[in-house]
Amino acid sequence: MVDSTTAISGSTSAGTTPDRYAAFISYSHADGELGAWLQKRLESYRTPRALEGRDVGRGRIGRRIGKVFRDRSDLAVVPNLRVGIRDALERSDALIVLCSPSSAASDYVNEEIRLFKELGKGDRIFPVIAAGEPHASRRPGSEATQECFPRALVMRLDAQGAVSSDLDPNEPIAADFRKGGGSAVSPCSARPRPAPHWAGYSPSADGTPSGATTIRWPPAMRWPA
C-alpha cells in the first residue's frame, strides 16, 4: 500500500509562495460542493511530522500543503477568465480532477487537463471519483453516459498538443468518493464521505479496468460524520 499523504505532499513544494499553488481543482460546477469542501480540507490539512522536511525533488515538504486553487474562490475579480485559468494552471504544482459524468462531458474540465499535460505536468494529476464509473465508455455492458473519466485524462496528447485517440500510458489512480466504492452517503445531505482508501483503476490494452490498487486515505481528510 502507498500512503496518499506522501503522494499529494510529493506533488507540491514546501511553503508555496503567493505566486504558486500547491494544487488546482478542476471540476464541473455540478460537483461544486465537493470542490469547495476539498479545497478547505486540503488547505487546512496538517502534514505528518514524519514527512516534514523531506526532499521530493521540487522542494521540501512543509507543515502545510499550501494554497489550493478553485475558480469560484480565486477568480472572482479576474476580467479574463480563460487567461486567469491558464495562469493558475501554470502556477500550480498539481492538478486534482473531480471525476463524474458531468466533468467527463465538460469542455472546460477537459481543456484544463489538456493544458496541464501540455505544460509537462501530466505525472502530477490526481483524479477523484465523485460519481459515475471509470472507463464506462469503453467497457462492454456499461452505460457510456456513466463515464466519469474526462477524455483528456485517459488519452495522450499528440505532437500538436491535442487530445489523441491513444490511451495515455500513465494509468490514473483515483480517490473513490462514491457510495459503494469505498464511501458512504450522509443521509441528511447525500454528500459522499470518502472511506480511508484510494481506488486505482488500471486500464488494459482495450481500455477496460485490469485491476485495483488500494492506497490509505489520511483520516483527517474524511467527510465528517
Active site residue 112: yes
Quote the cell numbers at residue 114.
489538456
- C-alpha 66/C-alpha 9 separation (Å) is 9
- Catalytic, out of 112, 118, 133, 147: 112
CA distances from 217 to 10, 50, 197 (A): 15, 16, 5
- C-alpha 147/C-alpha 34 separation (Å) is 18
Sequence-distant (6+) residues with CB within 8 A of 57 are none
Q: Which amino acid is at 218?
A: P
At CA 85, angle to CA 79 and CA 91, rounded to 5?
120
Quote the cell numbers at residue 81.
477568465
Quote the cell numbers at residue 7.
503522494
Neighbouring-strand partners of residue 60: 55
- C-alpha 139/C-alpha 134 separation (Å) is 9
The catalytic site residues sit at: 112
